[in-house]
């Protein structure tokens, strides 16, 4: 039996104070660029390492974004002129992000925040994120540390926001139990890009049995300073540590559902909710084989996908194109402001999509692009998918997850 999140939809507060952990890093910088003109969220606090603590952000950061730091505000701009005026009144000093004083990554420094985004590196994220949850703070993480936790949702917002329904169990099982604190993670960048078309096809045609995916991943996915120039210029590196295993495992958790466990119970004898890993309800076990490559492209992960459907006969390439183009995720219909207007852009041209031309094409990288949909002579269907690894593959996913949580009342 699938667990469903409450259908109640609430109007978001006009302004919501947020914090960013790992603010000086690559993902943290991306959070700042996206939140600086957000209609609801106002950047209240920035956290980084001890060497940055106490400095103004502009002095602590080695800014690597194309948008100049000096012009970035704190967000909360509203969606109407009235809201923009009230936002200006709220920030009468008209501060810029660069003026904020960097804080330590401890909960006490973020008490004024209603939710916190984490762009921390995995080697430090675990204990810090756990401390924020224990302090009853809602945390949306881009780090990998809690993706495998059996009580933490791994959410690609265009695919499985229904997995937020496990949060009450996460809070109840924490010692002591929590009223507001929780952790939600988003997926690995390469997983995110290709599960969106997979979800659209399962919605239209039923379960997928097997997937072969070969990635061509941009160098920005390695963070800064990234891959050494002598390794990547004029070259392809056919190995990214841990990446293939992440794709193969994360896909099952994301595309699967949530069911009642038959073997695990809480202290009152109530069955615990568990992620079914795409094996419940008579669905065939999904098999995924991934091969990952680093290529000399700055932004944009390209993935070549071949798949087999459970249903016989399988859909035609034209049916697949139509299903992909028609896919409308819940975050879009709900009105999440960072959700793409179109989740999947389908190209008919034989040489598209391309990173240089198309990586920002769907709502500034919040959606994905698919092309070369055709019959596969080994499986059923094959296609190419392009995603913006630093947007929907990272910070944008966390922001849409937070917007969804606000609209659903998960964040009070």
Compute and round to an integer the Cα radius of gyration of the chain: 21
The span from the CA of 377 to the CA of 215, in Å, is 20
Query: For 370, phi and psi rounded to 5 degrees?
Result: -125, 140
Among residues 219, 39, 224, 197, the alpha carbon closest in space to that of 121 is found at 224
**105 classed as catalytic:** no
What SS3 state is found at 394?
Answer: helix
Among residues 99, 187, 175, 83, the alpha carbon closest in space to that of 130 is found at 175
Whether the Cβ atoms of residue 215 and residue 158 lie closer than 8 Å to each other:
no
Return the residue matching tokens 């204990």. Answer: 127
Indicate the pairing of strand 208-217 with strand 301-309.
antiparallel
**189 classed as catalytic:** yes
* Catalytic residue selected from 38, 163, 278, 301: 301
Q: Nearest 5°: CA angle at 281, between 161 and 291?
A: 65
Return the residue matching tokens 């390469």. Answer: 190
* Catalytic residue selected from 189, 278, 292, 363: 189
* C-alpha neighbours within 13 Å on the C-beta side of residue 152: 25
* Active-site amino acid positions: 189, 301
């Amino acid at each position: 039996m699938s667990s469903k999140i409450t259908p109640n939809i609430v109007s978001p507060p006009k302004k919501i104070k947020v914090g960013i952990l790992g603010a000086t890093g690559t993902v943290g910088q991306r959070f700042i660029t996206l939140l600086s003109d957000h209609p609801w969220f106002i950047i209240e606090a920035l956290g980084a390492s001890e060497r940055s603590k106490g400095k103004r952000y502009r002095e602590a950061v080695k800014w690597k974004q194309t948008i100049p730091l000096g012009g970035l505000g704190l967000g909360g701009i509203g969606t109407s002129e009235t809201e923009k005026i009230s936002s200006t009144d709220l920030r009468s000093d008209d501060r810029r992000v660069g003026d904020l004083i960097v804080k330590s990554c401890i909960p006490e420094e973020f008490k004024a925040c209603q939710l916190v985004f984490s762009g921390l590196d995995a080697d430090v994220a675990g204990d810090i994120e756990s401390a924020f949850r224990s302090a009853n703070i809602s945390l949306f993480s881009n780090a990998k540390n809690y993706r495998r936790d059996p009580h933490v949702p791994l959410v690609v917002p265009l695919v499985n926001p229904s997995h937020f329904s496990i949060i009450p169990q996460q809070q109840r099982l924490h010692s002591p139990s929590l009223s507001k604190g929780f952790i939600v993670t988003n997926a690995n960048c390469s997983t995110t890009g290709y599960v969106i078309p997979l979800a659209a096809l399962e919605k239209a045609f039923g379960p997928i049995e097997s997937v072969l995916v070969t990635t061509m991943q941009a160098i920005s996915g390695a963070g800064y300073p990234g891959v050494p120039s002598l390794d990547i210029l004029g070259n392809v590196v056919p190995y990214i540590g841990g990446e293939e295993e992440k794709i193969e495992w994360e896909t099952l958790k994301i595309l699967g559902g949530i069911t009642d466990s038959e073997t695990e119970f809480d202290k009152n004898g109530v069955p615990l909710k568990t992620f079914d890993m795409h094996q419940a309800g008579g669905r065939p076990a999904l098999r995924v084989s991934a091969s990952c490559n680093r290529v000399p492209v700055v932004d944009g992960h390209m993935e070549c996908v071949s798949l087999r459907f459970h249903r016989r006969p399988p859909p035609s390439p034209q049916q697949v194109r139509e299903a992909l183009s028609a896919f409308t995720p819940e975050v879009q219909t709900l009105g999440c402001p960072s959700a793409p207007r179109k989740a999947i852009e389908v190209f008919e041209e034989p040489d598209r999509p391309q990173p240089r031309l198309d990586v920002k094409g769907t709502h500034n990288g919040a959606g994905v692009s698919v092309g070369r949909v055709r019959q596969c002579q080994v499986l059923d269907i094959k296609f190419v998918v392009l995603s913006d690894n630093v947007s929907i593959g990272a910070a944008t996913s966390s922001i849409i997850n937070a917007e969804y949580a606000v609209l659903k009342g998960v964040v009070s």
